[in-house]
């Protein structure tokens, strides 16, 4: 049986998310609508520092100073961005716990993604934070911001703090949280908002330079001035939310995020994804994010990540390399294909004899789905990460990453083995199907069971084209019996996946897959025109579906859908009257 998974697919693309709950002033309590896009970073520089490393006495001292008295950071609702340390100088201050992961393949479970880092960089210092709330929100931990400002300010001998308002159209000194204002006021500091491009001159007598949620790009001169200011003894405080930048700047890669441009010099990289959390209305799901609590530095022992790419590796070279790895049992392995990235522990790769064949087949399934949906790729075309996690109520869950519970490892391997690595498993094909439904803005989804049926539909299509044995339990039979019963039970169709897929399958048997290809081409046009229907606009969706399906097939399906109890209208029938009546069963 296909693993029952959650409706996160639906929720992910149509849920409104609050960036945080308690923003200041006019934005307080306002909900900022963002479509959650969980994207994966291209697998460039994997941090060699993902493993545990010894820290110097000096680093431990900095860690102790900055975390003194701090047990947690702020509201548990914050969606933090992970910040990857890329050099040995970087000190993680706080990080997600062993359950935390992100859609960035750099951060599987047990990678302990840092959300706050600090470093002494040449003669200067900096702190980078993975959430703006830490500096502005009343619920942010006061000791933490106090520690940071005291450490960075270095005595505030010039009594000058400069906020770089030039690249942040949202942040101003008024937005600083009360604790930050209090610390700076107690040092007699003047806070300057710099609204022009920063120059060396601006930084000459600056005790602390602050960048909060940059919204503009940064150019080479600005980077040079800021980096050389820190090198010569200046202090820099940065906060940013990578996933928010990504959402606001679709045309820019996360590498263009100003803090990442600075990070290239200073040695860190903000992720484009968040340490995720469960949607509020899906409380039965495993908590998908980690509360951020204090842990001593020695307790952070991240799993070692090893990465392979289909471009550079063969089945043999991957399996050989994994077998010969002395630390193999402690490692987490990432293999990157053209469209899909598989992120699994040793336990999976110990038994996966042909990892390249496996991922190539997943890539092929992805390509088939892209072909079916007229080129619409989910998550803006980002590679889909398939991530093993140890805790989840469901076997698998769609989105990016697609989550696969650890007991699914044997199931996937079983399907691979039985098919000589031709069948990448029905479950993963099904979850990829959900992702493409998200890409198609749920245009043809009428309810939960229906969502499931369409994921099955994609998997069925993939199996059909790839010549794989597919699971087709009794759905065609169920659909036939339903038709013959003469029932009008749209609620059942919306909630029972086997019925709808049965009806869809009868249609493809009779009229061919091309009907659906043409239908999706029409939906793709609407998606490209940004003509979205709301998820719950069921009647409009049904009318559109019956009309477009009929036009695609060149036959009128109205009488069938009417008979089955779909909320179709006579006007749809009138639009289709010129077509011959469809003939099913
Ligand atoms: Zn599903």
pLDDT tens string 307-316: 999 999 999 9
Cβ burial of 192 (10 Å; 0-12, 13-18, 19+) is middle
Cβ neighbours for 504, distance < 8 A, ≥ 6 positions apart: 453, 454, 457
Average pLDDT over residues 21-45: 31
* pLDDT score for 53: 67
**Which region among 276-280, 330-334, 486-490 has the lowest average model confidence (pLDDT)?**
276-280
Residue 254 is given by DSSP the state G
**How far does the centroid of ligand 1 lie from the alpha carbon of residue 544, in Å?**
24
Paired sense of beta strands 124-129 and 160-163, if any: unpaired
Reply yes or no on whether the pLDDT at 126 is more than 90. yes
Average pLDDT over residues 79-94: 95
Short-list 499, 524, 516, CA closest to 557: 516
Give the Cα-Cα-Cα angle 584, 438, 102 (nearest 5 degrees).
145
* pLDDT score for 88: 94
**Which region among 110-124, 470-484, 558-572 has the lowest average model confidence (pLDDT)?**
470-484
Task: Give the confidence band of 52 by pLDDT, cuts at 50, 70, 90.
Answer: low
**How far does the centroid of ligand 1 lie from the alpha carbon of residue 433, in Å?**
8
**How far does the centroid of ligand 1 lie from the alpha carbon of residue 368, in Å?**
18
φ and ψ of 237, to 5 deg: -120, 125
Task: Give the confidence band of 562 by pLDDT, cuts at 50, 70, 90.
Answer: very high
**How far does the centroid of ligand 1 lie from the alpha carbon of residue 13, in Å?**
15
* pLDDT score for 25: 29
Q: Contact 5/395 with Cβ under 8 angstroms?
A: yes
Write down the mean pLDDT value for the chain: 87
DSSP codes of every residue in 460-495? HHHHHHHT------SHHHHHHHHHHHT---HHHHHH
Average pLDDT over residues 239-248: 88
Cβ neighbours for 6, distance < 8 A, ≥ 6 positions apart: 282, 285, 393, 394, 397
Task: Give the confidence band of 249 by pLDDT, cuts at 50, 70, 90.
Answer: confident
**How far does the centroid of ligand 1 lie from the alpha carbon of residue 5, in Å?**
5
Position with higher pLDDT, 32 vs 121:
121
H runs (alpha helix) in 80-157 = 133-136, 142-153
Q: Contact 426/415 with Cβ under 8 angstroms?
A: yes
**How far does the centroid of ligand 1 lie from the alpha carbon of residue 455, in Å?**
6
Q: Contact 238/128 with Cβ under 8 angstroms?
A: yes
* pLDDT score for 342: 98
Average pLDDT over residues 83-103: 93
**Which region among 28-37, 205-214, 297-306, 438-447 has the lowest average model confidence (pLDDT)?**
28-37
Average pLDDT over residues 230-255: 89
**How far does the centroid of ligand 1 lie from the alpha carbon of residue 434, in Å?**
7
Q: Contact 240/81 with Cβ under 8 angstroms?
A: yes
3-state class (DSSP) for residue 283:
coil
* pLDDT score for 54: 85
* pLDDT score for 285: 54
**How far does the centroid of ligand 1 lie from the alpha carbon of residue 385, in Å?**
17
Residues in the chain: 585
**Which region among 58-67, 178-187, 464-473 has the lowest average model confidence (pLDDT)?**
464-473
Task: Give the confidence band of 273 by pLDDT, cuts at 50, 70, 90.
Answer: confident
DSSP codes of every residue in 335-387? EE-SSEEEEEEHHHHTT-S-HHHHHHHHHHHHHHHHHHTTT--GGGGPPEEEE
Q: Contact 91/128 with Cβ under 8 angstroms?
A: no
Please name the residue that has the structure tokens 């405080």: 237
Q: Contact 155/208 with Cβ under 8 angstroms?
A: no
3-state class (DSSP) for residue 168:
coil
The distance of Cα 326 from the centroid of its chain, to the nearest Å, equals: 32
**How far does the centroid of ligand 1 lie from the alpha carbon of residue 494, in Å?**
14
Task: Give the confidence band of 16 by pLDDT, cuts at 50, 70, 90.
Answer: very low
**How far does the centroid of ligand 1 lie from the alpha carbon of residue 136, in Å?**
40
**How far does the centroid of ligand 1 lie from the alpha carbon of residue 448, in Å?**
9
* pLDDT score for 532: 77
**How far does the centroid of ligand 1 lie from the alpha carbon of residue 48, in Å?**
36
For the chain, what is the largest distance between any 2 Cα atoms, rounded to a whole number of angstroms? 86
**How far does the centroid of ligand 1 lie from the alpha carbon of residue 402, in Å?**
11
pLDDT digits (tens, 9 = 90+) for 432-486: 999 999 999 888 888 777 889 999 999 999 999 999 988 777 899 999 999 999 9
**How far does the centroid of ligand 1 lie from the alpha carbon of residue 203, in Å?**
55
H runs (alpha helix) in 37-119 = 57-67
Share of the chain above pLDDT 70, in %: 88
**How far does the centroid of ligand 1 lie from the alpha carbon of residue 393, in Å?**
13
* pLDDT score for 583: 95
Residue 2 is given by DSSP the state P
Residue 4 is given by DSSP the state P
Tokens of 238: 């940065």
Peptide bond between residue 401 and the one before it cis (omega within 30 degrees of 0): yes
* pLDDT score for 289: 65
Short-list 179, 177, 252, CA closest to 215: 252
Position with higher pLDDT, 250 vs 7:
250
Q: Contact 511/555 with Cβ under 8 angstroms?
A: yes
Neighbours of 564 (CB within 10 A): 22
* pLDDT score for 453: 92
Reply yes or no on whether the pLDDT at 287 is more than 80. no
**How far does the centroid of ligand 1 lie from the alpha carbon of residue 6, in Å?**
6
**How far does the centroid of ligand 1 lie from the alpha carbon of residue 457, in Å?**
11
Task: Give the confidence band of 392 by pLDDT, cuts at 50, 70, 90.
Answer: confident
* pLDDT score for 519: 97
Alpha-carbon gap, residue 78 to 104, rounded angstroms: 18
The pTM (predicted TM-score) of the whole model is 0.85
3-state class (DSSP) for residue 279:
coil
Alpha-carbon gap, residue 28 to 18, rounded angstroms: 11
**How far does the centroid of ligand 1 lie from the alpha carbon of residue 2, in Å?**
8
Helix 409-418, helix 426-439: angle, nearest 10? 110
Please name the residue that has the structure tokens 């064949």: 357
* pLDDT score for 278: 55
**How far does the centroid of ligand 1 lie from the alpha carbon of residue 76, in Å?**
29
Alpha-carbon gap, residue 55 to 240, rounded angstroms: 26
């Amino acid at each position: 049986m296909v693993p029952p998974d959650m409706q996160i697919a639906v929720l992910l693309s149509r849920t409104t998310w609050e960036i945080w709950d308690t923003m200041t002033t006019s934005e307080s309590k306002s909900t900022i609508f963002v479509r959650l896009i969980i994207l994966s970073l291209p697998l460039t520089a994997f941090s060699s520092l993902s493993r545990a490393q010894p820290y110097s006495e000096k680093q431990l001292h900095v860690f102790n100073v900055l975390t003194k008295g701090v047990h947690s950071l702020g509201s548990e609702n914050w969606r933090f961005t992970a910040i990857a340390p890329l050099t040995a100088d970087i000190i993680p201050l706080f990080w997600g716990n062993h359950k935390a992961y992100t859609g960035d393949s750099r951060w599987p479970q047990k990678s302990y993604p840092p959300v706050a880092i600090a470093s002494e960089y040449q003669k200067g210092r900096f702190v980078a934070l993975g959430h703006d709330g830490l500096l502005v929100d009343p619920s942010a931990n006061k000791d933490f911001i106090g520690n940071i400002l005291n450490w960075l300010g270095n005595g505030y001998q010039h009594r000058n703090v400069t906020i770089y308002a030039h690249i942040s159209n949202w942040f101003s000194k008024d937005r600083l949280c009360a604790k930050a204002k209090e610390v700076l006021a107690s040092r007699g500091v003047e806070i300057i908002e710099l609204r022009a491009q920063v120059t060396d001159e601006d930084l000459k007598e600056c005790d602390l330079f602050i960048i909060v949620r940059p919204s503009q790009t940064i150019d080479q001169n600005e980077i040079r001035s800021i980096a050389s200011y820190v090198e010569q003894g200046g202090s820099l405080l940065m906060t940013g939310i990578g996933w928010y930048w990504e959402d606001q700047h679709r045309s820019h890669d996360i590498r263009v995020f100003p803090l990442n441009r600075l990070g290239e010099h200073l040695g860190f990289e903000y992720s484009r994804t968040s340490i995720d959390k469960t949607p509020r209305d899906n409380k039965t799901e495993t908590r998908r994010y980690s509360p951020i609590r204090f842990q001593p530095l020695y307790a952070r022992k991240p799993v070692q990540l090893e990465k392979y790419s289909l471009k550079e590796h063969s089945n043999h070279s991957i399996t050989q390399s994994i077998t010969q790895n002395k630390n193999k049992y402690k490692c987490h392995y990432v293999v990157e294909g053209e469209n899909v990235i598989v992120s699994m522990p040793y336990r999976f790769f110990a038994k996966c004899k042909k990892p390249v064949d496996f991922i190539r087949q997943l890539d092929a399934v992805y390509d088939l789905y892209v072909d079916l949906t007229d080129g619409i790729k989910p998550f803006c075309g980002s590679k889909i990460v398939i991530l093993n996690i140890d805790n989840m109520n469901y076997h698998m869950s769609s989105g990016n990453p697609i989550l696969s519970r650890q007991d699914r490892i044997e199931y996937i391997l079983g399907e691979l083995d039985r098919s000589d690595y031709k069948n990448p498993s029905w479950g993963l094909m099904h979850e990829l199907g959900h992702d493409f439904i998200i890409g198609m803005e749920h245009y043809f989804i009428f309810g939960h069971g229906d969502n499931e049926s369409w994921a099955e539909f994609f998997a069925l299509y993939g199996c059909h084209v790839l010549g794989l044995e597919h699971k087709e339990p009794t759905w065609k039979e169920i659909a036939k019996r339903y038709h013959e019963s003469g029932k009008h039970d749209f609620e059942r169709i919306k909630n029972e996946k086997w019925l709808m897929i049965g009806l869809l399958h009868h249609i493809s048997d009779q009229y061919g897959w091309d009907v659906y290809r043409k239908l999706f081409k029409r939906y793709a046009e609407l998606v490209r025109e940004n003509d979205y229907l709301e998820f719950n606009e069921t009647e409009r969706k049904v009318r559109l579906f019956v009309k477009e399906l009929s036009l695609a097939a060149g036959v009128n399906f109205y009488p069938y859908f009417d008979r089955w109890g779909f909320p179709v209208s006579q006007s749809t029938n009138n639009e289709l009257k010129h077509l011959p009546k469809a003939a099913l069963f």
